[in-house]
Amino acid sequence: FKSFLGMKRIALTLAVALIGIASYGQGHMKFKGVEMNVKTPKYARQLVKAGLEMDFRAGRDFYLHGYFAGYESEVAVYSNEEGMPRIVIATVKGYSWSHVKRVYDNYTQNLTAKYGEPSYTDHAFLSPYREGMGNELIALKNGYVQWRSEWMLPEGIIMVHISTDTEGNPLVCVSYT
């Protein structure tokens, strides 16, 4: 599992860069029941108390693993400019389009039940690919899939998207900023 973390690091960093805006609102986001209202080192310790396992620290960033919404996942806790946490969760399993899409759908259904309909959704295969042709993972690996939902909340932004790691394996990422 730890070797898996290394290859995901770049993908997780890119995911944060994609949504790398500072906190959007007045309140505080929660992940695993822990409010994101303390500096990143303290927040990472609180996540360990909440059941995640610490893998390593790299500078101001922390890498953990455990279960999120029933799926074995990696959790990266990044510091924003003020030293406050931003979270990216990447599911570890999923080597078929149907499985990856099912995980994505489960995450989005759970978030929709909690926060209402997403503020933005984009589900598209870019030409020449189409869903149902049997080459969805090739399209994903080559950057021809745009599959994400975002919730713009007063406390911040949550985004769920389908991506790949540095080796082209599919991931479902959930980001809290």
- Per residue of the chain (177 residues), give pLDDT as tens: 444 444 444 444 444 434 333 333 345 788 888 888 888 889 899 999 999 999 998 988 999 999 988 889 999 999 888 878 888 989 866 678 999 999 999 999 999 999 999 999 999 999 999 999 999 999 999 999 999 999 999 988 999 999 988 888 899 999 988
Q: Where are the beta strands (DSSP E) in 59-99?
A: 61-68, 71-79, 85-91
Pairing of strands 71-79, 30-31: unpaired
Q: 110: part of which helix (H) or strand (E)?
A: helix 97-115
Determine phi and psi for 165, rounding to 5 degrees.
-85, -175
